[in-house]
């Protein structure tokens, strides 16, 4: 029997990086769902309506927050500003869905794909993307670690089901939070986006490497730039190449920018910030290769997108990335500048290496594109224990 699912993404933002991509990708996959999907969002309704407005089973709700919720969110923002100066103050998450909305659309279940969830006493499923703070606590303040731990612990306890994208995240939830293994469903997102396609022979023109990622510390931009500069110095064939990075510029970008300035790399290292979907596709289809040097990732959308579009790609050897690319010749230690620089030279200039890389991507194409997201999620929504906490 079909259900009415409230897809809970109230403050989804393009600055969220992979979480934004995940949420939109799931919606793309759910076009063929047997259930009705009602999307609860206040920040990207115009974008979501234009993208899914013609979909028979996906409905974008355009509800304004009530006065109480608007006041609570304003109060939360003030407290979070204070937290920047006094980090012992906990971060307050004010999240709820009006009961009138649940009643109006006869909602059976809430699914929150952004690692945040409503506080209503109502059955919900949430996607937990990672527990990076437990593996790399140095990248988080004590208050951030406390908030994330509290949010994840309560979510795992209260949710009817927990969805993760990779087995290593499931293992973390079992190990750190004591979650029962049979409560966690692993559903890997591959290529549900219809705009991603295999590129033709790239156009002749500017030679560049591409890294699409927000500038969080674990994304490892500084080490990538250092490895790129080393490769340029060692190999004259790279002298015409640029490194182009896209994605949200976080506070950490100041450190990256200072490193670029000190190394006089302004002319051949470029950060474009958040770009349109069309511009990003154009970059994928004209770049020489994609490099993914991250130190931690639940799963990498840039890696999967490069493989699906048949763009030469190399990546670090962390978490799920080696499993995704499935070939040891194309991975490197994200902390080893010499190793990364040699892989950069190979993927940019070694024709046989590039050819082998593309053969590998063609082998992986069906694995990343053949998965039926709607079927997997519909089974979870329909399970007998999905409607109860």
User: Per residue in 59-71, pLDDT tens?
Assistant: 999 765 555 665 6
CATH 3.40.50.2000 corresponds to the domain 4-189+371-382: yes
Average pLDDT value for the chain? 88
More confident residue, 261 or 371: 261
Averaged pLDDT for residues 273-297: 94
Averaged pLDDT for residues 181-208: 83
- 141-155: pLDDT as tens digits: 888 888 888 888 888
Contacts of 362 (CB under 8 A, 6+ apart): 310
- Between CA 352 and CA 329 the distance in angstroms is 12
pLDDT at 195: 75
On the question of pLDDT at 124 being above 60, the answer is: yes
Contacts of 155 (CB under 8 A, 6+ apart): 115, 117, 126, 128, 162
Q: Where are the domains of the chain?
A: 4-189+371-382, 208-369
Predicted confidence band of residue 249 (pLDDT cuts 50, 70, 90): very high
Tell whether the torsion through CA atoms of 77, 82, 87 and 89 is positive or negative. Answer: negative
On the question of pLDDT at 231 being above 50, the answer is: yes
The string of DSSP letters for 188-235 reads ------TT-----SPPSS--EEEEE----GGG-HHHHHHHHHHHHHH-
- Between CA 231 and CA 203 the distance in angstroms is 24
Least confident interval from 59-63, 118-122, 240-244, 309-313? 118-122
pLDDT at 370: 82
State the fold for domain 208-369: Rossmann fold (3.40.50)
pLDDT at 118: 84
Query: From the CB of residue 333, how many other CB atoms can be counted at a distance below 10 Å?
Result: 14
Give the residue among 317, 326, 322, 316 at the shortest CA–CA distance from 356: 326
Predicted confidence band of residue 386 (pLDDT cuts 50, 70, 90): low
Averaged pLDDT for residues 307-320: 96
Averaged pLDDT for residues 159-166: 94
Report helix, strand or coil for 295: coil
DSSP for residue 319 = T
Averaged pLDDT for residues 89-93: 50
Tell whether the torsion through CA atoms of 99, 1, 155 and 130 is positive or negative. Answer: negative
Report helix, strand or coil for 266: coil
On the question of pLDDT at 180 being above 50, the answer is: yes
Give the residue among 294, 345, 351 at the shortest CA–CA distance from 324: 294
Longest dimension (CA), the chain: 66
Averaged pLDDT for residues 166-195: 89
Least confident interval from 74-88, 129-143, 178-192, 237-251? 74-88
- Assess contact for 341 and 230: CB atoms under 8 A: yes
pTM, full prediction: 0.84
Averaged pLDDT for residues 320-344: 97
**Exposure of 260 in the CB half-sphere (CA atoms within 13 A):** 19
pLDDT at 388: 56
Least confident interval from 96-100, 338-342, 366-370? 96-100
pLDDT at 279: 94
Strand order in the sheet with 331-332: 269-271, 242-246, 208-212, 289-292, 313-316, 331-332
pLDDT at 315: 98
- Between CA 27 and CA 29 the distance in angstroms is 5
pLDDT at 114: 85
Least confident interval from 111-115, 193-197, 368-372? 193-197
Query: From the CB of residue 384, how many other CB atoms can be counted at a distance below 10 Å?
Result: 6
Predicted confidence band of residue 92 (pLDDT cuts 50, 70, 90): very low
Provide the percentage of residues in the chain whose pLDDT is more than 70. Answer: 89
Tell me whether residue 168 is exposed, middle or buried, using C-beta atoms within 10 angstroms of its C-beta: 0 to 12, 13 to 18, 19 or more.
middle
Least confident interval from 12-26, 127-141, 240-254? 12-26
């Amino acid at each position: 029997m079909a259900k009415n699912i409230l897809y809970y993404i109230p403050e989804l933002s393009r600055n969220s990086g992979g979480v934004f991509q995940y949420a939109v990708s799931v919606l793309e996959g759910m076009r063929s769902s047997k259930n009705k999907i009602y999307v609860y969002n206040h920040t990207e309704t115009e974008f979501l309506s234009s993208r899914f407005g013609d979909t028979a089973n996906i409905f974008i709700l355009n509800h304004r927050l009530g006065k109480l919720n608007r006041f609570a969110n304003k109060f939360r923002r003030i407290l979070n500003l204070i937290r920047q100066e006094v980090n012992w103050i906990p971060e307050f998450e004010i999240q709820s869905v009006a009961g009138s909305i649940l009643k109006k659309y006869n909602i059976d279940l809430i699914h929150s794909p952004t690692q945040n969830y409503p506080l209503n006493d109502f059955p919900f499923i949430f996607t937990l993307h990672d527990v990076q703070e437990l593996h790399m606590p140095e990248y988080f303040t004590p208050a951030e670690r406390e908030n994330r731990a509290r949010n994840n612990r309560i979510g795992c306890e209260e949710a009817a089901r927990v969805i993760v994208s990779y087995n290593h995240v499931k293992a973390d939830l079992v190990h750190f939070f004591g979650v029962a293994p049979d409560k966690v469903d692993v559903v890997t997102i591959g290529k549900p986006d219809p705009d991603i396609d295999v590129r033709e022979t790239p156009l002749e023109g500017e030679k560049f490497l591409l890294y699409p990622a927000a500038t969080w510390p674990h994304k490892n931009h500084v080490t990538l730039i250092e490895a790129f500069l080393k490769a340029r110095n060692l190999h004259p064939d790279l002298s015409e190449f640029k490194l182009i990075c896209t994605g949200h510029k976080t506070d950490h970008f100041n450190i990256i920018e200072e490193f670029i300035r000190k190394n006089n790399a302004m002319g051949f290292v470029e950060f474009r910030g958040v770009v349109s979907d069309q511009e990003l596709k154009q970059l994928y289809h004209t770049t020489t290769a994609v490099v993914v040097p991250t130190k931690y990732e639940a799963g990498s959308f840039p890696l999967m997108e490069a493989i699906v579009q048949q763009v030469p790609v190399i990546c670090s050897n962390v978490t799920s990335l080696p499993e995704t690319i499935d070939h040891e010749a194309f991975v490197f230690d994200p902390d080893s500048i010499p190793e990364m620089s040699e892989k950069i030279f190979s993927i940019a200039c070694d024709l046989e290496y590039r050819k082998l890389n593309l053969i590998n991507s063609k082998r992986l194409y069906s694995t990343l594109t053949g998965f039926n997201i709607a079927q997997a999620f519909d089974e979870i929504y329909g399970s007998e224990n999905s409607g109860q906490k």
